[in-house]
Amino acid sequence: MGIFDFLSGEFIDVIHWTDNTRDTMVWRFEREGHEIKYGAKLTVREGQAAVFVHEGQLADVFTPGLYMLETNNMPIMTTLQHWDHGFKSPFKSEIYYVNTTRFNDLKWGTKNPIICRDPEFGPVRLRAFGTYSIKVSDPAKFLVEIVGTDGEFTMDEISFQIRNILVQEFSRTIARAGIPVMDMAANTRELGQLVGKEIAAQLAEYGLAMPELYIENISLPPAVEEVMDKRSSMGVIGNLNEYMQFQAAEALGRDGAGAAAIQTGLGAGLGMQIGNAAAQQGPWGARAAVPPPPPPVEHVWHVAENGQTRGPYSKAALGRMTTDGALTRESMVWTPGQDGWMRAEDVAELAQLFTVLPPPPPPPGA
């Protein structure tokens, strides 16, 4: 073995990259003068890609594996260098490692409120925020379009641009969706999928993909939320007068003189009732005129015949049907509030319709 073979074996390059920063997207392998020895070993781990740039021109992209940098497995480099004979001197190239794993739990949010038209509340201003994940889908395109000659490129350098794209598309999607504000919480998953689908093509131009997008919250301005809280509180309270009486009774119960005050209140209430009763009577003790009660609610009726239901009919219409023979004593009828179907003659309100007609004749021989 010659001295040249010995030295070439001793100084074989081992090119690899291990990342412990969790935010580095691209890292350039540094070598003085960018000289990489012929036959160097290139290690590309899972979740990585290695991009070769030779004399400013992108040469090759290596996926995970172990490679020997020789002309027989680098056809593009062979063409660039014209290595038609076993030329084994170092070649000047740059190797960029690209992290192809997901970058998770990245934050996004609307810097300014989004104005959209709600079918119930009219024009409203909305804010939203959430998380997303990003990954490099095309290492070569990402290096050409975004990184350039940066020796170490981190996620922070592009996150601002991605957030701008995401918020812009979210604003357009939320404005076109027409989903009421009260129903947005039930549709955040669908909205996230729509936004992710809309920005996929734009991210692909940068060599990126967005596997996940989550909308954690969509909120209204604080003043509007305060009014909605009051409206909800009124719905929970129900009868306002009863609630005020309950509050007053609780306040009296917490007071030291609560029992005496309650007794005084009961006496005052009894006195007011006696006074009101006296005021309702005339000067000679006669009671004032009492307004008549409201008229009774007229029922409407349904008639079942041959497995089908007809109606609703008023009582007057049933009377005419009785005269025509369309309604008999055995006809099954029902009205709202009645417990199941009943024969017409068993309903007190309809029984009088059959009093004007004779009952059915007795059977023969009776």
CATH number at residue 207: 3.30.479.30
Q: Where a domain ends, among 99, 116, 150? A: 99
Looking at the fold, whether 54 and 155 belong to one and the same domain comes out as no
| C-alpha to C-alpha distances, 313 to 153, 320, 349, 353, nearest whole angstrom | 80, 11, 14, 14
The confidence score (pLDDT) of residue 276 equals: 62
Residue 172 pLDDT greater than 70, yes or no: yes
Question: What is residue 85's predicted lDDT score, i.e. its pLDDT?
Answer: 38
Q: 107 and 95: one domain?
A: no
Summarised one tens digit per residue, pLDDT across range 301-333 is: 888 888 888 878 888 888 888 888 888 888 888
Domain boundaries, position 42 = 3-99
Q: Phi first, then psi: give them for residue 42, nearest 5 degrees.
A: -110, 120
Is 287 contained in some domain?
no
Is residue 94 in a domain? Answer: yes
Domains in the chain, number: 3
Residue 157 belongs to some domain of the structure: yes
In a domain, 284, yes or no: no
DSSP H/E element including 81 = helix 75-81
Quick one: pLDDT at residue 75?
47
pLDDT of residue 80: 47
pLDDT of residue 223: 78
Residues 190-241 have pLDDT tens digits of 889 989 999 999 999 999 999 999 999 888 878 777 777 776 666 666 666 7
Q: Does residue 91 sit in the same domain as residue 71?
A: yes
**Is residue 262's pLDDT more than 60?**
no
Please indicate, yes or no, if residue 234 is contained in any of the structural domains: no
Question: Same structural domain for residues 93 and 121?
Answer: no
pLDDT in tens, 44-96: 999 999 998 887 788 889 999 998 877 555 544 444 444 443 445 556 778 89
Cβ-based neighbour number of residue 60 at 10 Å: 20
Q: For 94-147, what is each residue's pLDDT tens digit? A: 889 999 999 999 999 988 888 888 887 788 888 899 999 999 999 999 999 998
